[in-house]
Amino acid sequence: MAGTPNTPGGDRDRRRDGAVQEKEREKVAKPPKYKVVLYNDDYTPMEFVVALLEQIFKKPPVEANAVMLKIHKSGKGVAGIYTLDVAETKVANVHQLAEKNGYPLRAGVEEE
């Protein structure tokens, strides 16, 4: 019987002699990220866009103003980068708040 696992003289049970058992972890892929993009229009006031960026995207005032100017000058700007479900929720919140205030502000999701 010598040489059989867990018997005297054989391979001992590693738990009994204090050895550390290692288990390989599978690497979990990070979920893809998506940009929430706001698009310029000629009707939504700049102040509203800044307030929206502060409220929905939790931007500090200086950053919110910089994003608003980017949207105004180049036609679109990135409000934030999130997982898909969060990005879609943010877009829905933008549309809901803009509609509630009577503005045509549009937002969308683009893969990063």
One-letter identity of residue 36? V
Residue 1 has a pLDDT of 54
The domain segmentation of the chain, as residue ranges, is 34-111
pTM: 0.76
pLDDT tens digits, 18-68: 667 777 888 899 999 999 999 999 999 999 999 999 999 999 999 999 999
Q: Tell me how far apart the alpha carbons of residues 46 and 96 are, in angstroms, rounded to a whole number.
A: 17
Which pLDDT score, from 0 to 100, does residue 25 have?
A: 82
Mean of pLDDT over the chain = 89
Three-state DSSP at 48 gives helix
CATH 3.40.50.2300 fits 34-111, yes or no: no
